[in-house]
């Protein structure tokens, strides 16, 4: 995995430069942008790292940027920086998925702690997304009947109940179950259920 890049977005040049210096001396590759639009224009490929953005900027705000990241499926964790009196905006940013919000002026330790939290989250999310993609690819290999049996298993039904619902024999259910376990590379029923749940969005 490539080194994480911290993307700093703030319309205040002094803030950008101060953060760039702090992050660089702490060992992080850093890129700075004077606006959310400039950052989006630079995002040509998936990145590992996080976004550190001011919440209140001319043009596209930090909240608008968060929404655009979701639309573009740019899955970088976001930390928002807020000025005095922007707590309501910060709370809205957290509801929209921001990892943290930091009030200006802030200490170096607070910024670095928030970034470590964001990195941990990104690593965890990337691993889960990879597992979900692998499970989804395996699901595509199942026959329609195997999918029906799988749905019964995930619903917690025993083989006999699945057989009754599908109007097939319990022995046939066992064969389909064994086949789909092999195709899904699942060592146990709990593991199979976890795989399937990874591919289904939370309600």
Say if residue 98 is in the same domain as residue 157: no
The stretch 63-79 carries a mean pLDDT of 87
Q: Is the pLDDT of residue 45 over 80?
A: no
For residue 132, being part of any structural domain is answered with no
- CATH of residue 88's domain is 3.40.50.2300
For residue 10, being part of any structural domain is answered with yes
Interatomic CA distance for residues 155 and 178, integer angstroms? 17
Give φ, ψ of 55 to 5 degrees.
Answer: -85, -25
> What's the whole-number average pLDDT of the chain?
85
Pick the range with the lowest mean pLDDT from 95-104, 129-138, 160-169: 129-138
Of 71, 99, 126, the domain-final residue: 126
- Report the candidate in 150, 144, 146 with the shortest Cα–Cα distance to residue 189: 150
Domain span at residue 111? 5-126
For residue 82, being part of any structural domain is answered with yes
Q: Which residues pair with 6 in a beta bridge?
A: 30, 50
Say if residue 19 is in the same domain as residue 102: yes
- Could you tell me the two tokens for 78? 């976001």
Question: What does the radius of gyration of the chain's CA atoms come to, in whole angstroms?
Answer: 23
- CATH of residue 177's domain is 1.10.10.10
Say if residue 84 is in the same domain as residue 12: yes
Residue 23 CB burial class (10 angstroms; 0-12, 13-18, ≥19): buried
pTM, entire model: 0.61
Q: Is the pLDDT of residue 160 over 70?
A: yes
């Amino acid at each position: 995995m490539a080194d994480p890049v911290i993307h700093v977005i703030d319309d205040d040049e002094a803030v950008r430069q101060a953060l760039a210096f702090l992050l660089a001396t702490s060992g992080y590759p850093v890129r700075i942008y004077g606006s959310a639009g400039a950052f989006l224009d630079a995002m040509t490929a998936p990145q590992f790292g996080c976004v550190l953005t001011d919440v209140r900027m001319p043009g596209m705000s930090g909240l608008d940027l968060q929404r655009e990241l979701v639309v573009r499926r740019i899955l970088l964790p976001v930390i928002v920086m807020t000025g005095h009196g922007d707590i309501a905006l910060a709370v809205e940013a957290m509801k929209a998925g921001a990892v943290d919000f930091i009030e200006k002026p802030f200490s170096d330790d607070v910024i670095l702690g928030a970034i470590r939290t964001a990195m941990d989250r990104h690593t965890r999310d990337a691993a889960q997304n990879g597992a979900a993609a692998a499970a989804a690819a395996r699901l595509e290999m199942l026959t329609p009947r195997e999918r029906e049996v799988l749905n019964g298993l995930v619903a917690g039904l025993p083989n006999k109940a699945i057989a009754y619902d599908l109007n097939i024999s319990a022995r046939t259910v066992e064969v389909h179950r064994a086949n789909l376990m092999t195709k899904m590379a699942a060592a146990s029923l709990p593991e199979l259920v976890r795989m399937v749940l990874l591919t289904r969005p939370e309600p």
